[in-house]
C-alpha cells in the first residue's frame, strides 16, 4: 500500500469470506492497524473470523433492508459478493442482481462516495480471442453469470450519471494464487496486483470507469490502458505464477470455457 494515498475512511467489503474477499480484508485490516482507514466492516453469508476493531456481519445480502444496514456510515463499498460462476436464474437473481441493485440504492441513501464492483471478464466473454478490446467494449456476456456482471456495470453507469455515487467496475480475469492454463497468459491477475487495482479504485478521481483485472500481461486481448491512466501499475507477469500441469486448450472466445458451454452450464 502506498503511504501517500488518501483512503476513504470507512470501508465495507461484501463477500469478505471468499477467495478475493479474504485477500482484500487482510489488506484493509493492515490499513486499519496503520491508521490509514478508521472503520472496516466485513460481511459474508459464511462465518468471518473475529478481528479486534473490525465489524463483522454474517448475513445474506439479498434483501433491501440488509443492504441499507450494511451501507450505513460507509464511505466506500468493495462489492465482491455474489455467485462467481454460471448458474440458474433462481440463484443468480437474488445474489447477483437484486443484491447489487439494493446495495447501490443503499449507497445513495447513506451518502457513500464510491462502489468498487467485482465485474468479470465474462461480461465480455463472447468477443473472439483474436480481437483486442479495451474498457470501451460494449458488453457481450458469455453466460447468465456474465450477464449479471454486465448488469452491475450498467447499474454503476446509471447511478454515476444520476447520483453522487462513483463506480469502479473491475472486469476481473483470472485472479488466483497460481496460473494453471495457457489462457491465463492473457487473463491472469496476481493477488498483489488485484490489491493494487483495489487501491486505485479506492483513491483515484473518477465518476464511472471500467478496468480489467489483469497483471502486466503482454499481448493480452484486454488493453488495460484505462486502468493505467487512473494509476494502476501492475508488477507481476503470469509466466512467473505458472504451475504445472498447464491446461493447453485453445479457446475461440475470450471467456474460455464459459463461452463454449451451453447456456446455464459452465
Ligand atoms: C470468473 O469470473 C470466475 O469467477 C472465476 O472463477 C474464473 O473462472 C474467471 O472468471 C476466469 O475467467 O478465469
List the residue whose alpha carbon is closest to atom 13 of ligand 1. Answer: 174
Check whether 2 has a pLDDT greater than 70. Answer: no
Per the listing, cell 468471518 goes with 48
User: Does residue 144's CB lie within 6 angstroms of at least one atom of ligand 1?
Assistant: no
Q: What percentage of the chain reaches a pLDDT higher than 90?
A: 97
Determine if ligand 1 sits within 6 Å of the CB of residue 187: yes
pLDDT at position 253 over 70? yes
Instruction: Please report how the helices 99-109 and 144-162 are oriented relative to each other, as an axis angle in degrees rounded to 10.
Output: 20
> Residue 126 has which C-alpha cell?
463472447
Check residue 3 and give its pLDDT. Answer: 61
**d(CA 146, ligand 1 centre) in Å:** 10
Best probe residue, ligand 1, of 188, 258, 265 (max atoms within 8 Å of C-beta): 258
Model's pTM, two decimal places? 0.97
- Per-residue model confidence as pLDDT tens digits over 37-94: 999 999 999 999 999 999 999 999 989 999 999 999 999 999 999 999 999 999 999 9
Task: Give pLDDT, residue 150.
Answer: 98
pLDDT at residue 264, as a whole number: 76
Distance 162 CA to ligand 1 centre (A): 31
Asked if pLDDT for residue 1 goes beyond 70, the answer is no
35 pLDDT above the threshold of 70: yes
* 84 C-beta closer than 6 A to ligand 1: yes
Question: Pairing mode, if any, of strands 188-189 and 179-181?
Answer: unpaired
- The three cell numbers of residue 242 are 505458472
Q: What is the mean pLDDT of residues 239-264?
A: 95
What is the residue extent of each domain of the chain? 10-260
Answer yes or no: is pLDDT of 209 > 60.
yes
What pLDDT score was predicted for residue 224? Answer: 98
Closest by Cα among 99, 100, 125, 97 to 256: 125
pLDDT of residue 266: 63
Tell me what the mean pLDDT of segment 134-155 comes to: 98
Mean pLDDT of the 159-164 span:
98
Cα(9) to ligand 1 centroid in Å equals 30
- For the domain covering 10-260, report its CATH number: 3.40.50.720
Distance 124 CA to ligand 1 centre (A): 12
All 3 cell numbers of residue 106?
A: 443503499
Contacts of 65 (CB under 8 A, 6+ apart): none
Q: DSSP H helical segments within 94-165, as ranges? A: 99-109, 144-162
Give the integer Cα–Cα distance in Å for 141 and 213.
Answer: 16
- The C-alpha atoms of residue 254 and residue 197 are separated, in whole angstroms, by 21
Q: Of the residues 145, 159, 212, 232, which is catalytic?
A: 145
C-alpha 70/C-alpha 66 separation (Å) is: 6
Closest by CA position to 212, among listed 198, 196, 232, 227? 227
Average pLDDT over residues 209-233: 98
Has 145 been annotated as catalytic?
yes
Q: What value does the mean pLDDT take over residues 26-30? A: 98
Residue 266 alpha carbon, nearest atom of ligand 1: 8
Amino acid at each position: 500500500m502506498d503511504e501517500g494515498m488518501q483512503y476513504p475512511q470507512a470501508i465495507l467489503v461484501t463477500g469478505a469470506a471468499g477467495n478475493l474477499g479474504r485477500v482484500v480484508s487482510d489488506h484493509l485490516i493492515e490499513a486499519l492497524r496503520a491508521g490509514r482507514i478508521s472503520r472496516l466492516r466485513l460481511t459474508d453469508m459464511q462465518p468471518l473470523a473475529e478481528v479486534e476493531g473490525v465489524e463483522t456481519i454474517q448475513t445474506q445480502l439479498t434483501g433491501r433492508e440488509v443492504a441499507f444496514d450494511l451501507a450505513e456510515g460507509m464511505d466506500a463499498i468493495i462489492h465482491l459478493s455474489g455467485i462467481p460462476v454460471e448458474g440458474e436464474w433462481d440463484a443468480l437473481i437474488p445474489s447477483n442482481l437484486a443484491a447489487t441493485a439494493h446495495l447501490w440504492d443503499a449507497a445513495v441513501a447513506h451518502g457513500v462516495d464510491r462502489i468498487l464492483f467485482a465485474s468479470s471478464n465474462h461480461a465480455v466473454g463472447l468477443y473472439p480471442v483474436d480481437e483486442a478490446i479495451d474498457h470501451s467494449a460494449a458488453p457481450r456476456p458469455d453466460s447468465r453469470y456474465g450477464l449479471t456482471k454486465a448488469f452491475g456495470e450498467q447499474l454503476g453507469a446509471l447511478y454515476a450519471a444520476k447520483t453522487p455515487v462513483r463506480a469502479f467496475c473491475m472486469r476481473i480475469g483470472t485472479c488466483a494464487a497460481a496460473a494453471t492454463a495457457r489462457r491465463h497468459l492473457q487473463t491472469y491477475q496476481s493477488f498483489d496486483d488485484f490489491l493494487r487495482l483495489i487501491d486505485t479504485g479506492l483513491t483515484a478521481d473518477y465518476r464511472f470507469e471500467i478496468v480489467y483485472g489483469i497483471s502486466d500481461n503482454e499481448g493480452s486481448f484486454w488493453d488495460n490502458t484505462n486502468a493505467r491512466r487512473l494509476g494502476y501499475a501492475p508488477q507481476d507477469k503470469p509466466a512467473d505464477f505458472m504451475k504445472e500441469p498447464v491446461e493447453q486448450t485453445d479457446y475461440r472466445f475470450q471467456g474460455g470455457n464459459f463461452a463454449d458451454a451451453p447456456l446455464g452450464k459452465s
